[in-house]
Structure 1
Amino acid sequence: MKPPEAVRPVVVGRSESQGEYPHERLESQVRSYCRSFPAVFDKAEGCRLYDVDGREYLDFFAGAGALNYGHNAPRISRAMVDYVRGNGVMHSLDMATRAKEAFLSKFESVILRPRKLDYRLQFVGPTGTNGIEAALKLARMVKKRRNVIAFTNSYHGLTAGSLAVTAGESYRNEYYDSAADVTFMPYDGFLGDDVNTVDYARKLILGKSTGVDQPAAIVVETIQAEGGVNVASAAWLRSLDELCRDCGALLIVDDIQVGCGRTGEFFSFELPGIAPDIVVLSKSISGSGQPMSIVLLKPHLDEWEPGQHTSTFRGNNLAFITATTALEYWESPLFSAEIHGRGEHLAAMLEQLCTSFPDLETRVRGRGMLFGVEIANAAIAQSTSRAAFRRGLLIELCGPEDNVLKVLPPIVTETDDLTAGVRILQQSIAEVAGMTPTREI
């Protein structure tokens, strides 16, 4: 997202002699979220953040999806503290450790086996973009093809390979971005609700003399969070999976932001009932905000030679500890239903929000605990994000026009807090649009 206009925070730590805050003086201009949310944060618990002045904020941002279980979930924090106090191994590259063995066993028993999924796990560098890089590299190596199909409004990361399959205009630059060996196709709904864009892609990929090289892989987000909370239908995803089988391409699902329970199920692709060839997980896989990224690959694709794709920080044992603990949530058959219940409540509140401003062109879309509130007037959307922050709510913008408020609270947020956050949104829209809601939330 393009950050909203910065508002100077009132915080401790400012240099009186230089008239600047340390991060303004020392940190690169590339910094972003500290401009959107201008405060110095100090503590956090559950769905709340507190700044150095003691001000409380509701968090509808959740670390851009890295904090699905909230800030400092008690059971996760206890496991982390106990591990550190016990002098547990912190860094191990890809050597075997008790922490890694425990995570692998828990992931197999709680996530893979109940879903009848058969994947090998590859630990890569600490962030999602590292997982995308590994997935693209492996697909090209296995299929012995160069081309990759990606989609309009996609976001997969900002290192060279992942940026090449990212469509977001604000991230691309002709001087450092190369779209060679990548073909972009229209995402579900991009050409209108009455156009099946998989059929369009099928004609270009399987037809003769279309100018589209046979792809090694098709990489897709089941919900384009950064792209505007665009939700692909289950039927569209199943058609895409079928296209991959027909053209011999691997299906790569980027579940970095919308996986790990965000949609109500652990994987976002469970609803359409597909089993991708490769899955990339990061953000909330650690359960704690600890850096961690993994690639799931079907066993027959595991053609890596030992050491062929490495990373110094692929053995973050503290992340293994917190990830193993987070998986305990999924041992309960009720957990998924609870997420769906909260999501239904949130959806109802957001629909009520939009209908309370009949003169404002708005639209709600999403699934599980991820929603986008699109406001046709981008200036109002952007001002609403800033006004919400002043009222104590963190919520970011997304979409190509930065006119979609991305509602991304922790998936464990209670309904009273969800209602309180939407109430702040309503008050913020009323303030910036100069409108009185027909019904207060």
Structure 2
Amino acid sequence: MGIFKDVESNVRSYCRSVPCVFKSAKGSVMTDVDGNEYLDFLAGAGTLNYGHNNPVLKAALLEYIESDGVTHGLDFHTDAKAKFLETFQRVILEPRGLNHVVMFPGPTGTNAVEAALKLARKVTGRHTIVSFTNGFHGVSMGALAATGNQHHRQGAGMPLDGVFRLPFEGYMEGLDGLALFEKMLNDNSSGLDLPAAVIVEVVQGEGGLNAASDEWLVRLESICRKHDILLIADAIQAGCGRTGTFFCFESSGIEPDIITLSKSLSGYGLPFAVTLIRPELDKFEPGEHNGTFRGNNHAFITARAALEHYWGDLKFAEAVQAKGKHLRARLDKMAEGTPLFLKGRGMMSGLQCPDGDIASAITANCFRKGLIIETSGPEDEVVKCLAPLTTTMEELDRGLDILQSAIVEQNLTRGAGSPA
């Protein structure tokens, strides 16, 4: 462990709560250098929806590498890119009635957000972006301005402007943030300039698993349409099936102008992101937003394999939905008689604790028992389950048994406010 302390930057974070050195991983299990196995309910913070070293994706990637397929090609046309685009259009976009064009902005989620915000401002000629309390959109400067978390924002070292923040659904009892938004838009003295766009996470992954209702999303879209404001859906963590449908907003019926995807898009943990844009908004000049690694051909291969294998019919989504219901039922049962309560949606669910100390004690106990699970929320007070979507029901229950045991050992009862 000394090499990490001596050589790696102090900015490292996840490894601090998971103090071991990993050597291999397969499916939902990670193995350290001493041979200890851990069930993984973190899954690369939502990057490994199909598990570690998924055999279908690995076979496709190895075949491509062995054939000397293009590894890096800037934004050159390649066979791998063509096949990904064809599959994405046929399997994902067309069945959902979406005709968005696909932009490759760079390999990270924050880059997809930067592209979305820049494009919205360029197309509308307006500056202000509306985001929501507890939203997380990345840590590069533009995306960070739209992010609420103070811990991340203070890393900027300079003012973060250009964003107006509204309360997310359920932020405070009795407060209707969308009613406030519309009132301010209709009031010439409200101080809110007409925004270029609104950016929203349907389920706020890092913000504490706050989930927007379909009704709230429909109202938000209606306000945006009425006032000619672009709607950006940040589906980076909640997308690629995490909530039970490929896009996290599908059940609401909304059609965002711009959609950002990353994390599990490659399916294999390879860096990959896209910004999906309604054709009439596709106004960047060639190269106006670019990046050296905006064409990850290895990710094209694994992403296409994931789409074909898992999203070609309804069976996978139905299985994910069933697991999500089971997960939430068990979490809800764990919360009975305790100060914990259920948060999130589908396979992106967890338990909110009275404070971050309790949540951290629970996750640390889980690690000692062989389960990797992390926290989220403004005070790290939510224990968040992000198991791979391919996790078997037996593995899911085994991990939840560990979580339940860790919670029981905290001796929590209604009104409890600190760890035992």
- The correspondence for 2:356, drawn from 372, 378, 384, is 378
In the alignment, what sits opposite 2:418? none
- The correspondence for 2:313, drawn from 332, 338, 356, is 332
Q: Cα deviation per residue 1:95-141 (whole Å; 9 max; x = unaligned)?
A: 00010000000000000111111100000111100000000000000
In the alignment, what sits opposite 2:295? 315
AA aligned to 1:332 is: D
In the alignment, what sits opposite 1:298? 278
d(CA) in 1 for partners of 2:5, 2:356:
27
Residue 174 to residue 202, structure 1, CA distance change in 2 (3 Å):
farther
TM-aligned CA deviation for residue 174 of structure 1:
8.1
d(CA) in 1 for partners of 2:73, 2:111:
18
In the alignment, what sits opposite 1:126? 107
AA aligned to 2:129 is: V
TM-aligned CA deviation for residue 434 of structure 1:
7.3
TM-aligned CA deviation for residue 417 of structure 1:
1.0
1:123–1:295 Cα contact (<8 Å) kept = yes
- The correspondence for 1:33, drawn from 14, 33, 43, is 14
Q: Cα deviation per residue 1:230-280 (whole Å; 9 max; x = unaligned)?
A: 000000001000111112110000000000000100000101001100000
AA aligned to 2:241 is: G
Matches within 5 A, 1:91-110: 91-110=72-91
TM-aligned CA deviation for residue 367 of structure 1:
1.4
Asked if 1:366 corresponds to 2:347, the answer is no
Q: Find the residue that maps to 2:190 and give its secondary structure.
A: coil
In the alignment, what sits opposite 2:219? 239
TM-aligned CA deviation for residue 175 of structure 1:
6.0
Asked if 1:279 corresponds to 2:263, the answer is no
Q: Find the residue that maps to 2:409 and give its secondary structure.
A: helix
Q: Find the residue that maps to 1:215 and give its secondary structure.
A: coil
TM-aligned CA deviation for residue 433 of structure 1:
3.6
TM-aligned CA deviation for residue 177 of structure 1:
4.2
TM-aligned CA deviation for residue 431 of structure 1:
2.6
In the alignment, what sits opposite 2:388? 410
TM-aligned CA deviation for residue 195 of structure 1:
3.4
Q: Give identity over the alignment, percent.
A: 47
AA aligned to 1:375 is: C
Structure 2 residue ranges without an equivalent (≥5): 414-420
In the alignment, what sits opposite 2:3? 22
1:353–1:422 Cα contact (<8 Å) kept = no
In the alignment, what sits opposite 2:120? 139
2:49–2:389 Cα contact (<8 Å) kept = yes
In the alignment, what sits opposite 1:17? none
AA aligned to 2:95 is: P
Q: Cα deviation per residue 1:144-163 (whole Å; 9 max; x = unaligned)?
A: 00000010001000000000
AA aligned to 1:246 is: K
In the alignment, what sits opposite 1:349? 330
Matches within 5 A, 1:173-212: 173=154, 176-192=157-173, 194-212=174-192
Asked if 1:82 corresponds to 2:63, the answer is yes
AA aligned to 2:36 is: R
In the alignment, what sits opposite 1:395? 373
* TM-score (normalised: structure 1): 0.92
d(CA) in 2 for partners of 1:346, 1:177:
42
Structure 1 residue ranges without an equivalent (≥5): 1-13, 15-20, 436-441
In the alignment, what sits opposite 2:39? 58
d(CA) in 2 for partners of 1:294, 1:94:
13
AA aligned to 1:336 is: A
TM-aligned CA deviation for residue 377 of structure 1:
3.8
Matches within 5 A, 1:222-237: 222-237=202-217
Matches within 5 A, 1:414-425: 414-425=392-403
Asked if 1:70 corresponds to 2:48, the answer is no
AA aligned to 2:344 is: G
1:385–1:395 Cα contact (<8 Å) kept = yes
Asked if 1:264 corresponds to 2:225, the answer is no
Q: Find the residue that maps to 1:314 and give its secondary structure.
A: coil
d(CA) in 1 for partners of 2:103, 2:165:
27
Name which of structure 1's ranges 277-286 and 332-341 shifts more when overlaid on structure 2: 332-341
AA aligned to 2:291 is: S
Q: Cα deviation per residue 1:314-353 (whole Å; 9 max; x = unaligned)?
A: 1110000000000011002211111101111111111121
d(CA) in 2 for partners of 1:42, 1:175:
34
d(CA) in 1 for partners of 2:172, 2:229:
24
d(CA) in 2 for partners of 1:178, 1:393:
39
2:129–2:197 Cα contact (<8 Å) kept = yes
Q: In the comparison of the two structures, how many residue pairs are matched?
A: 412
Name which of structure 1's ranges 219-228 and 416-425 shifts more when overlaid on structure 2: 416-425
1:125–1:311 Cα contact (<8 Å) kept = yes
d(CA) in 1 for partners of 2:232, 2:159:
20
d(CA) in 2 for partners of 1:179, 1:280:
21
AA aligned to 2:257 is: D
d(CA) in 1 for partners of 2:158, 2:134:
16
1:66–1:283 Cα contact (<8 Å) kept = yes
2:331–2:350 Cα contact (<8 Å) kept = no
In the alignment, what sits opposite 1:7? none
TM-aligned CA deviation for residue 202 of structure 1:
1.0
d(CA) in 2 for partners of 1:309, 1:175:
22
Asked if 1:45 corresponds to 2:23, the answer is no
